Amino acid sequence: MENTERMEQFISELLVINPNLDMALLEQAYLKAEQMHEGQLRKSGEDYITHPLSVVKILAELGMDENTLIAGLLHDAVEDTPYTQEDLKKDFGSEVALLVDGVTKLGSLVFESKEERQAENLRKMFLAMSKDIRVLIIKLADRLHNLRTINYMNEDQIREKCKETLEIYAPLASRLGIYTMKFELEDIALKQLDPEAYYTLVSQVKMKKDQRKASIETVIDAIREALDKLDFEYDITGRNKHFYSIYRKMKYQNKQLDEIFDLMAIRIIVDTVKDCYAVLGVVHTMWKPIPGRFKDYIAMPKPNRYQSLHTTVIGDHGDPFEIQIRTAEMHKIAEYGIAAHWKYKEGVSQDREEGKLAWLRQTLEWQKELNDPKEFMETLKVDLFSNQVFVFTPKGDVIELPAGSTPLDFAFKIHSAIGAKCIGAKVNGKMVPIDYTLKNGEIIDIVTSSNSKGPSIDWLKIVKSNTARNKIRQCLKKENKGESVDKGKDMLAKYVRRKGYEPQQIIRNQWINKAAKNMNLASSDELYTSISYGGVLLSKLVTMLIEFYHEEKQLELKKKDKEEKVFTEEKKKPKESGHTGITVEGMGDLLIRFAKCCNPVPGDEIVGFITKGRGISVHRKDCINMISLPEEERQRFIDVEWNSQKPNMSYNADIHILAEDRKGLFSDISRICEEMDVHIAGVNAKSGKENIANITMTLSLSNTGELAKVLRQLRNVPGVADVYRANM
């Protein structure tokens, strides 16, 4: 395409998106970008200029201003061409220069590792974001277009970029509330990382969509008929769930597609907040809501400013479906997040938005304290994905904290001095200790004392937020409490000698780190510091270390015995243990038992775990108890497999049923199991609020295929809202 033709097309596309933009200024920026990138090609073979043009189009669709679009056009120029930061500032002003500098990678510096480079790039981007959040919006647009054209990278680069997108950039888009961008980033990354799962899901969802379309239209017609009797305007549509969200539910909640009932939802958009609650009342009179599935994000917005009412109800035929209710303004924010309110042209300063981005300032506080790139990256991921709790100050200000936070977290979030002098708190007017777990909606009033001794090492076990943890560490360092590591090491070594062991036998780094985790301490240094201040009983610690020592000796003996046995022909062959239907590769007769926490069934992917004195415990590979094991415990894993020669054996599996509590419900469920020749080995049923029954059943089955058939049949029982296999 000729340069003039490309520019004319670019300008005409921007005019369609936003005719109020200063096109003369954008033409000037376009010509500079084209000049700087002349002769450069992308890996696809296209002119490099096509990338910044695509980034600008994404930014324009988000409603961004001219300076953001100019920065998008030139975001790679300073890094990849002779064009300097000074040139940029001279040509287009300091504001554009600041935006481009925030996005530019640290290309001129040398780092020891890829992880260190990534951490430093993100540090710089966060620092720039603290001055202007548009830096992140440009970076997200840049990443989105790179993912749209990622097929031209090699396989390792694709995996690295997509993994980074899921861990960092998609959660950041979510934090800004730009869900249109978040969903596309996640779906593209999933398609590249697990194409088989992605395309299978696309096919299955299409089939489900066709099946559900008629029932959804019936529901929409019923809602229209009810709302037409009210005196307000509304718009009602269906909404499809994006693929990555479905994938996560199926993988991490161990659900089948049939068990996910919000593949499609109904969205109702009205004019006012009052109308939102009026529609909710109408919906709840038409269908029974499922307890625990109602979310009021209008009264309690998400940190990214998302507001909406969510409710899930049981339809006339026992099928549950989700309904979302919001105003048009809320819908705009839900789609485009903070970008929906970006109005620099009208003179609205960024200061008005800072209160909505408290999470960013919090990130900046603790990232300055972390020198280790790996620690920074892990903390960032935890912070982005953590669940939140929202509480109030006595003046009514909303404070956002990680779920599980305590009054100490709240106190340090308000101010370091308040946290340091905290001795307790009043929650809704009642005194609570400093380790009380805060709950949504509570009013917190911190109680301080000038006589307080201040933070102790034990406070690090109580707090949940990075902000509080880092401020406590700073206080400890100021009081020289952090210099007690050597003293703690000496005290431990002397105690070990009194027990008759040499310190080098018992005091090993991996065991000290493991002991620190068992005691809810963040590191070995905190363990040693706690010893020096009497916060850890030496007798308890040394007993733990001696147990680790003997465990290692036992494992060494078992390993040696195993190595000797494999030299014999008999032990080289796989042996089936007892009558469990499990084969243990390379081992003789062993005690085998199935873990009751996850109840594996033939067809499940399984792993063996060598227990202490009780043989091998067989778990599902997705068992939360196995996934959460520390690295040193994973050395006790052993390969096991199902024996295909034992097809007639039965295995227990737990399932959960959520249903309308009615007469004859359990009789109908039992009849399904009887007709399918499935034995019910155990039942635990509870009747909850709103006439909802929660039933846990233990079924004797031969394999996962039989289990899937049973689940499908049970979902057809009238009044059953949800059936799924227990995760643990």
Cα dihedral 354, 357, 359, 365 in deg (nearest 10): -30
**Of 13, 22, 79, 296, catalytic:** 79
Q: Are 47 and 37 in contact (CB under 8 A)?
A: yes
Best CA proximity match to 360, nearest among 55, 99, 123:
123
C-alpha distances in Å from residue 549, one per residue of 252, 492, 496, 510? 36, 16, 12, 11
Please state, in angstroms and rounded to a whole number, the distance separating the CA atoms of residues 264 and 258. Answer: 12
Other beta carbons less than 10 A from residue 137's beta carbon = 29
Known catalytic residue at 79? yes
**Of 22, 27, 61, 80, catalytic:** 80
Cα dihedral 663, 665, 671, 677 in deg (nearest 10): -150
What are residue 320's DSSP bridge partners? 314
Q: Are 84 and 91 in contact (CB under 8 A)?
A: no
Concatenate the DSSP letters of all residues of 473-499 into one string: HHHHHHTTGGG-HHHHHHHHHHHHHHT
Best CA proximity match to 489, nearest among 532, 540, 548, 541:
532
Known catalytic residue at 184? no
Please state, in angstroms and rounded to a whole number, the distance separating the CA atoms of residues 483 and 532. Answer: 10
C-alpha distances in Å from residue 493, one per residue of 490, 506, 538? 5, 9, 10
Task: Name the phi and psi angles at 601, rounded to 5.
Answer: -130, 145
212 CB-contact burial (10 Å; exposed 0-12 / middle 13-18 / buried 19+): middle
Task: Name the phi and psi angles at 512, rounded to 5.
Answer: -65, -45
Best CA proximity match to 132, nearest among 104, 105, 102:
102
Best CA proximity match to 18, nearest among 62, 52, 55:
62
* Helices (H), ranges, 403-502: 407-414, 416-420, 459-462, 466-478, 485-498
Q: 616-620 and 592-594 as β-strands: parallel, antiparallel, unpaired?
A: parallel
End-to-end CA distance of the chain: 59
Decide: helix, strand or coil at residue 697.
Answer: strand
- Amino acid found at 643: N
Q: Is the dihedral of CA 459, 464, 466, 468 positive or negative?
A: negative
- Amino acid found at 73: L
Best CA proximity match to 98, nearest among 142, 128, 136:
128
Concatenate the DSSP letters of all residues of 161-217 into one string: HHHHIIIIIHHHHHHTT-HHHHHHHHHHHHHHH-HHHHHHHHHHHHHHHHHHHHHHH
Task: Name the phi and psi angles at 283, rounded to 5.
Answer: -60, -40
Please state, in angstroms and rounded to a whole number, the distance separating the CA atoms of residues 124 and 105. Answer: 8
User: Tokens standing for 79?
Assistant: 């890094």
Residues 6+ apart with CB under 8 A from 664: none
Best CA proximity match to 467, nearest among 365, 320, 535:
365
Active-site residue set: 79-80
